[in-house]
Amino acid sequence: MIRWHALAWPSDSFQSNVKYQTKYFKQRLDHFSPADDRKFQQRYLISQKYWKKGSPIFFYTGNEGDITWFAKNTGFMWDIAPEFNAMLIFVEHRYYGKTLPFGKDSFKDKEHLAYLSSEQALADFAQFIVDFKAETHGTQNSSVIAFGGSYGGMLTAWLRIKYPNIVDGAIAASAPIWQLEGLTPCDRFSSIVTNTFKLAYPECPKNIRNSWKVIRKLGSTKSGRHTLSTTLKLCNPLKSPSDVDALVNWLSSIWVNLAEVDYPYPANFLEPLPAKPVKAVCASLQKPLANDTLLIRGIAKGLNVYFNHTGNSKCFNTDQDATSHLGIAGWNFQSCTEMVLPVCMDGVHDMFEPTPFNLTAMAAICKEQYGVRTRPFWAQTLYGGKRIKAASNIVFSNGNLDPWSGGGVLKSLSKSLVAIVIEGGAHHLDLRHANKDDPATVKHARKIEKMHIAKWIKEASNE
Amino acid sequence: MIRWHALAWPSDSFQSNVKYQTKYFKQRLDHFSPADDRKFQQRYLISQKYWKKGSPIFFYTGNEGDITWFAKNTGFMWDIAPEFNAMLIFVEHRYYGKTLPFGKDSFKDKEHLAYLSSEQALADFAQFIVDFKAETHGTQNSSVIAFGGSYGGMLTAWLRIKYPNIVDGAIAASAPIWQLEGLTPCDRFSSIVTNTFKLAYPECPKNIRNSWKVIRKLGSTKSGRHTLSTTLKLCNPLKSPSDVDALVNWLSSIWVNLAEVDYPYPANFLEPLPAKPVKAVCASLQKPLANDTLLIRGIAKGLNVYFNHTGNSKCFNTDQDATSHLGIAGWNFQSCTEMVLPVCMDGVHDMFEPTPFNLTAMAAICKEQYGVRTRPFWAQTLYGGKRIKAASNIVFSNGNLDPWSGGGVLKSLSKSLVAIVIEGGAHHLDLRHANKDDPATVKHARKIEKMHIAKWIKEASNE
């Protein structure tokens, strides 16, 4: 069983227009308890460079990580701020980055983790906006447009759904709000990864699918593990079958992450990546590789592209995770409580080792780890699940290469609940800075998004 | 300063079609904490007498009191259930009636009261409906229509606003959602009471306005207090000036309550009331009464109508409150935390003693009483305040005689946010059983409400 700990997010190259002030806001710890009045310091980033009095606020709903990372990697907001005279605000999600309600004790036990939930985070955003507008001259009549990608995109959509009085519209990029338990078949995710690899080279996913048996076969003997370790240039040689399990998980994560960041131009991930990395990785796997040795060598060559684009890596570390900028401690807890996003593999419709999703087993692990009961359906009660037609003013964008698009809103639900599918797009490509190598599809998506933003601002000013 | 503890609600005469089963639901104590898994027993009443498989559920969102009271006094639901083949469910609000999460300790201190809030109550309703539908054969595709009056009407509107995935539409009767701090002038309430009395007899509010000075003058001396006590037939003679304060408060409450229950036919309140009780009470105050003695005698005669319609009362008890069926302990706490509904009097535009609303003073009392900080604006952040146009499928009904109508939605906000003003209507007259003495206005209101209910059910079935 694989539980995806956090959604991956690649780093954009540095852009000179991303300049902000860092500030802190005194936030309520528990919005929903009338008896608990404690506060904590919530970090936010702000840029008023393009802003004029009364003009809109573009508000990023921070996700599961350091907010500076998201500010730097949501170039779209910076790119379009000038033409809307928009103020930019990025608020960090509680329990991530520097926004730790109990400092280093924040993840100590369930008593300290009790205030980590998406609904508390949304209430943070709502309360922040209300207080910020009350205190900031010239913002009283400013419309507020929410932006977010990935889990942040889910929050952005939900912020508009639950607090339409606070935000006038929402750009929810690659927001898998329907990845929640029971709303989307769990194998959709892995079949999209597989398809993204197939689009690069049809033979590539076949080779990857075949690789698992070879890895398991070699992994079952000492000499085989030696062969794997040297061929794959692992920093820590495989010593036991459980090390082989770890290797399989690590490789699976890499293939998934690659599909997420399959951008048309070079980008930073854990390490710098070439343009169209799936194609680059699959180059050594584009032909049938029936021979075990050739197959593992092909995988090794692929890994070299992924981890060694700059040629600096001497070996690969299976402990190394591609999501080091994300707050694993917080997300582990969230995915154990209300953010249950089931992903499974069957090895037939996808290129992975068969890995069922077992909610009961997952809940047992969560119970043991945190002493909490998993609530897989609460988020649907709270945010509407598939029944969200009563909401309005949300653009849901998804790239067809992105595995998370399987749990996204891919068809418009009404005139003001608009779906955009970006052909050739990976994980929230549209939220990134404009790039000369952008496909026409993402340019078009951004155009539609801007059109809706302008419409929402106009409607809000007429109210 | 007057803080209205609870909204009054008169008893309907017994109707034979009000028959239900009493059941209990295992409810989550804290919906918003991932770490707290405690449960409590929530009472609900159910009638499947008129229900057919797949037909709608009419769902009453219990307010601040014993749910059996509301079931018996919401005759409209019972009256129209047969033509919709509707199931009837009335869920009791946590911390009221028999739904006490910690039994007799529920009001012990702020730690026990920490789970009493409107948002927990709404989550109770949402979770109840989801679980009930999952467990009850034939309800999976049933649409759900919410009903509520007074604070229950606020909850009903907010349930649709926050959980449109759970309820398809809402009949919010006499729901003062805009009585919240800062949304409506605090003197609106008392000026409506005054106007209701003026409609009975123009001179009546003038006499009442004049009465306060007389009461204060007499109340300042021992012999005067004796005169007041005997003329007003008080069970406990006035002994001190503070007793006179209590008398003024008691009388003010009576005038307010009378405006709320100014129904066109006899109804039960604390004691049985005649039809059009304001007119009956004002009969002895319809002429200018310049003489102090005559004025107090006029008031006494009015009280006699109010409290002694059946002729059984020998004396009047100023400790006696007309809202004994309501949960004062719970409502005191709610009005100290998020349910701040300001009411004030100026003695000029209304017939009361001047009584400003002082939020700071109120908050200080709340701090002392419960150790909590009053949050007068949180409910607006959460439920939208005046910015609720993004919502849909709510009928807001108000009677022009009802003081709470001042904080109600009196003009339609959109095609699906419909306001109905019932001329000659008191507090949620429309939710009561049909009566031969109903004015045409309330008959028309119920017709419009039924039309919208039918439309919502149809829309839901097309989804």
A401 shares a domain with A287: no
With an 8 Å Cβ cutoff, are A114 and B381 in contact? Answer: no
Given a cut of 50, is residue B1 above it in pLDDT?
A: no
Interface test with B, best of A26, A28, A30, A33 (most B CBs within 10 A): A33
pLDDT of amino acid B4: 46
Instruction: Kindly report which listed range (A53-67, A108-122, A233-247, A265-279) carries the lowest average pLDDT score.
Output: A265-279
Nearest to A157 by CA among A459, A448, A394: A394
Across B358-372, average pLDDT: 95
pLDDT digits (tens, 9 = 90+) for B91-102: 999 999 999 999
Given a cut of 90, is residue A245 above it in pLDDT?
A: yes
B283 shares a domain with B153: no
Classify residue A154: in a domain, yes or no.
Answer: yes
CA distance A152 to chain B (A): 19
Across A381-402, average pLDDT: 97
With an 8 Å Cβ cutoff, are B372 and A37 in contact? Answer: yes
For residue B144, give the H/E element and its range: strand B144-149
Residue A306 pLDDT level (bands cut at 50, 70, 90): confident
Closest alpha carbon within chain A to B384: A165
With an 8 Å Cβ cutoff, are A32 and B375 in contact? Answer: no
User: Could you list the active site residues of A?
Assistant: 150, 402, 427
Closest alpha carbon within chain B to A382: B163
CA distance A394 to chain B (A): 12
CA distance A143 to chain B (A): 13
Non-local CB neighbours of B294 within 8 Å, separated by 6+ positions: none
Nearest to A189 by CA among A252, A128, A241: A252
- 8 A C-beta contact, residue A166 and residue A70: no
Across B455-462, average pLDDT: 94
Given a cut of 70, is residue A294 above it in pLDDT?
A: yes
Residue B374 pLDDT level (bands cut at 50, 70, 90): very high
Interface test with A, best of B127, B135, B144, B381 (most A CBs within 10 A): B381
The shortest CB-CB distance from B35 to any of A162, A372, A380 is to A372
- Read off the CATH number of the domain in which B233 is found: 1.20.120.980
Classify residue A367: in a domain, yes or no.
Answer: no
Closest alpha carbon within chain A to B162: A162
Distance CA A187, CA A344 (A): 5
A49 shares a domain with A33: yes
With an 8 Å Cβ cutoff, are B31 and A378 in contact? Answer: yes
With an 8 Å Cβ cutoff, are B35 and A373 in contact? Answer: no
pLDDT of amino acid A3: 42
B425 shares a domain with B384: yes
With an 8 Å Cβ cutoff, are A130 and B34 in contact? Answer: no
CA distance A330 to chain B (A): 13
Non-local CB neighbours of A294 within 8 Å, separated by 6+ positions: none
Distance CA A371, CA A364 (A): 9
pLDDT digits (tens, 9 = 90+) for B61-117: 999 999 998 999 899 999 999 999 999 999 999 999 999 999 999 999 999 999 999
B226 shares a domain with B123: no
| Alpha helices, DSSP H, located in A308-342 | 328-337
Residue A314 pLDDT level (bands cut at 50, 70, 90): confident
Given a cut of 70, is residue A9 above it in pLDDT?
A: no
The shortest CB-CB distance from A384 to any of B117, B165, B390 is to B165
Residue A4 pLDDT level (bands cut at 50, 70, 90): very low
Distance CA B210, CA A157 (A): 57
> How high is the mean pLDDT of chain A?
92
pLDDT of amino acid B57: 98
A139 shares a domain with A84: yes
Non-local CB neighbours of B264 within 8 Å, separated by 6+ positions: B275, B276, B424, B435, B437, B438, B439
Distance CA A69, CA A262 (A): 19
Given a cut of 80, is residue B308 above it in pLDDT?
A: no
Across A340-360, average pLDDT: 95
Classify residue B318: in a domain, yes or no.
Answer: no
Chain B residues whose CB is inside 8 A of the A159 CB are none
> Which of B93, B309, B427, B452 is labelled catalytic?
B427
- Write the CA distances from A292 to A227, A346, B78, B399, integer angstroms: 11, 22, 75, 82
Given a cut of 50, is residue B5 above it in pLDDT?
A: no
Closest alpha carbon within chain A to B386: A165
With an 8 Å Cβ cutoff, are A116 and B36 in contact? Answer: no
Q: Is the torsion defined by CA of A142, A143, A149, A153 positive or negative?
A: positive
Classify residue A325: in a domain, yes or no.
Answer: no
The 10 Å Cβ neighbour count of residue A418 is 19
Percent of chain B with pLDDT over 70: 93
Distance CA A157, CA B51 (A): 37
pLDDT of amino acid A5: 42
The shortest CB-CB distance from B35 to any of A34, A111, A392 is to A111
Classify residue B81: in a domain, yes or no.
Answer: yes
With an 8 Å Cβ cutoff, are A393 and B391 in contact? Answer: no
B19 shares a domain with B116: yes
Chain A residues whose CB is inside 8 A of the B383 CB are 165
Give B451 or B253, the one with higher predicted confidence: B451
- Read off the CATH number of the domain in which B43 is found: 3.40.50.1820
A298 shares a domain with A205: yes
pLDDT of amino acid A329: 87
Instruction: Kindly report which listed range (A321-330, A361-370, A444-453, B2-11) carries the lowest average pLDDT score.
Output: B2-11
The shortest CB-CB distance from A165 to any of B30, B377, B387 is to B387
- Write the CA distances from A125 to A53, A201, A459, B128, B451, integer angstroms: 21, 43, 22, 28, 38
With an 8 Å Cβ cutoff, are B372 and A162 in contact? Answer: no
pLDDT digits (tens, 9 = 90+) for A435-455: 999 999 999 999 999 999 999
Non-local CB neighbours of A336 within 8 Å, separated by 6+ positions: A362, A365, A366, A369, A370, A372, A374
Number of H helices, E strands in chain B: 15, 10
Overall number of domains in chain A:
2
A246 shares a domain with A299: yes
pLDDT of amino acid B14: 53
Classify residue B353: in a domain, yes or no.
Answer: no
The shortest CB-CB distance from B392 to any of A375, A377, A390 is to A390
For residue A40, give the H/E element and its range: strand A39-47
CA distance A370 to chain B (A): 9
Chain A residues whose CB is inside 8 A of the B393 CB are 390
The pair of structure tokens assigned to A427 is 């994980």
Across A287-301, average pLDDT: 94
Residue B170 pLDDT level (bands cut at 50, 70, 90): very high
Residue A13 pLDDT level (bands cut at 50, 70, 90): low
Classify residue A312: in a domain, yes or no.
Answer: no
pLDDT digits (tens, 9 = 90+) for B193-252: 999 999 999 999 999 999 999 999 999 999 999 999 999 999 999 999 999 999 999 999
Backbone angles phi, psi at A288, to 5 degrees: -60, 130
Interface test with A, best of B113, B382, B392 (most A CBs within 10 A): B382
Last residue of a domain, one of A257, A291, A307: A307
pLDDT of amino acid A12: 56
CA distance B427 to chain A (A): 28
pLDDT of amino acid A114: 97
| Structural domain range at position B293 | 188-307
| Beta strand ranges found along B274-431 (DSSP E) | 394-399, 417-422
pLDDT of amino acid B46: 98
- 8 A C-beta contact, residue A58 and residue A77: yes
pLDDT of amino acid A7: 47
Chain B residues whose CB is inside 8 A of the A330 CB are none
pLDDT digits (tens, 9 = 90+) for B139-160: 999 999 999 999 999 999 999 9
Chain B residues whose CB is inside 8 A of the A371 CB are 35
Distance CA B17, CA B14 (A): 9
Interface A-B: count of C-beta contacts within 8 A: 116
Classify residue A205: in a domain, yes or no.
Answer: yes
Q: For residue A269, give the 3-state DSSP assignment.
A: coil
Percent of chain A with pLDDT over 90: 85
Given a cut of 60, is residue B6 above it in pLDDT?
A: no
Chain A residues whose CB is inside 8 A of the B116 CB are 34
The shortest CB-CB distance from B338 to any of A34, A117, A162 is to A34
With an 8 Å Cβ cutoff, are B164 and A31 in contact? Answer: no
Give A313 or A171, the one with higher predicted confidence: A171
Give B140 or B274, the one with higher predicted confidence: B140
Interface test with A, best of B28, B109, B165 (most A CBs within 10 A): B165
B410 shares a domain with B270: no
With an 8 Å Cβ cutoff, are B164 and A387 in contact? Answer: yes
Instruction: Kindly report which listed range (A63-72, A320-329, B284-293) carries the lowest average pLDDT score.
Output: A320-329
CA distance A75 to chain B (A): 29
> Which of B143, B150, B211, B392 is labelled catalytic?
B150
> How high is the mean pLDDT of chain B?
92
B207 shares a domain with B175: no
Helix-strand-coil percent breakdown of chain B, rounded to 5? 45, 15, 45
B59 shares a domain with B172: yes
Last residue of a domain, one of A307, A340, A365: A307
Last residue of a domain, one of B288, B307, B326: B307
